[in-house]
Amino acid sequence: MYYYDMAEIENALKDEHKRVWLAKCGRTLLADFIRHTKQDPVKFFNAYDEMLEYVSNDRNQDQLRQDVEGRGLWLSFANLTNECDSLEVYEAIDLRSVENQNEAKYLAYPRKDEDLVMVTLGIGHDVSAEMQLKEMYTRIKFYGADPSSYINRNVYEKDLGGKFFHYDSSNNDAAVFLAYKIRQKKIDFLWVDLKGHEYRILNRLHSDGPLDRKRVKVCQINVDMYMNKLEEIKKFYDFVWKILEDKRCIVMKPIFVNDRFIRAFLVNVADRECADLFLS
C-alpha cells in the first residue's frame, strides 16, 4: 500500500493540471480550517506556497523520496523489530527491567561480578529507575548529565550517590563529553533521553566513529528517538541503516510512543568485552 501511494503521489505531482488542482484544494481546505480556529491564515499561506515551490522542484525529488521512505520506516520500525525479540539466540541475554515514573528501562544483567559504569544523559528530575538498578546490582558508578541543574543535581548526587554534570547536548560534542568528562573506557549502561538531540550521541557510536577513535565502548543503551522535525526522519533512517551495516548492536523492545518517539534497547554484541560480560 505504501509503495502504491508513493507512485500515485509522484504521478500526480508530474501532471501540471493535477498538481495545480491539488495545490488549490489543499490551500483552500487548510485555510478554512485555520479561519475556523479564528487565526490569521497569512503565515500559513506563505509557508504553504514555499512548501509547494519546494516539492515541485525536480532537484528536490530525491530528498523528498528519502524523507517519505524514512517516515515509512519510522512508522513500521517497532512492529518489524519486535518480531526479533522471540529469536532463540536472544536467550543468551538475561533480560531484566527497572521502571521510573513514565517508562521501563531494560538491561542485560551481567554474568560476572565486577565494577560497572552507568551514564544517564537527560535525567528529567527522576532517578527511580537508577535507584532500582543500584539495588539490583550494587557495584555501579553513576554519572548523570542534564542541561538543567535544578533538582537534577540533587536527586542524582544526594539521592542516588552519583556524579552530576551540567551538560547541554545541543551545543556540545557527546563523544568529547563521554571521553573527557566521564573518563571511562567502558560504559556498561547508557540511558539517553535528550528530547530530539539523541542523534548527537547515537551517530558517534558506529564502528570507527568518534567514540571508537577515543577508545570508549558502550555495551548497552536505552534511548528515546524523537521525530520533532522532518530532518530527524533522515537522522533516524541513517542511524538504523548504519546499525544494520555495522552489525555491532541488536535492537530489542522497541515501543512506538504517541507518534512522537521510539523507545528502544540496544545491546553491543560485537565487542568481545561487552559480550563476555553480558551474554552467556
Q: Are residues 37 and 157 in the same domain?
A: no
Which whole number is the average pLDDT over 207-224? Answer: 94
| Sign, CA torsion 53/55/58/60 | positive
Question: Are 111 and 233 in a shared domain?
Answer: yes
Which residues sit opposite 166 in a β-bridge?
A: 146
- Rounded CA gap, 3 and 137, in Å? 48
- Domain co-membership, 258 together with 138: yes
CB 189 within 8 A of CB 118: yes
Residue 182 has pLDDT above 60, yes or no: yes
**Nine-digit cell at 10?**
509522484
- Domain end (from 38, 54, 82): 82
Q: β-strands 116-121, 140-146: how paired?
A: parallel
Q: What is the mean pLDDT of residues 19-42?
A: 59
Q: Report which of residues 99 and 33 the model is more confident about.
A: 99
* Contact indicator for 279, 108 with CB cutoff of 8 Å: yes
Residue 98 shares a structural domain with residue 49: no
Among 82, 111, 129, residue at a domain's last position: 82
Check residue 4 and give its pLDDT: 38
Q: Quick one: 55 and 141 in the same domain?
A: no
User: Do residues 57 and 91 share a domain?
Assistant: no
Same-domain check for residues 194 and 250: yes
CATH assignment of the domain containing 260: 3.40.50.720
Q: Which of 76-85, 89-98, 127-136, 191-200 has the highest mean pLDDT?
A: 127-136
**Residues spanned by the domain of 206:** 85-278
48 plus 137 within the same structural domain: no
pLDDT, tens digit, 9 for 90 and up, residues 110-160: 999 999 999 999 999 999 999 999 999 999 999 999 999 999 999 999 999
- The pTM assigned to this predicted structure is 0.74
pLDDT tens, 231-258? 677 788 788 888 888 888 988 998 888 7
The yes-or-no verdict on residue 11 having pLDDT over 60 is no
Average pLDDT, rounded, for the chain = 81
Examine the domain organization and report whether 78 and 89 are in the same domain: no
E-strand stretches of the chain: 95-99, 104-108, 116-121, 140-146, 163-166, 186-192, 217-226, 249-257, 261-268
Segment 53-64 shows an average pLDDT of 63
Q: Looking at the structure, do residues 142 and 272 belong to the same domain, yes or no?
A: yes
Which of 46, 67, 82 finishes a domain? 82
Question: Are both 167 and 187 inside the same structural domain?
Answer: yes
In a shared domain, residues 250 and 128? yes
Going by pLDDT thresholds of 50, 70 and 90, the confidence category of residue 3 is very low
CA–CA separation, 148 and 206 (whole Å)? 28
Predicted pLDDT at 247: 84
Task: Count how many domains the chain has.
Answer: 2
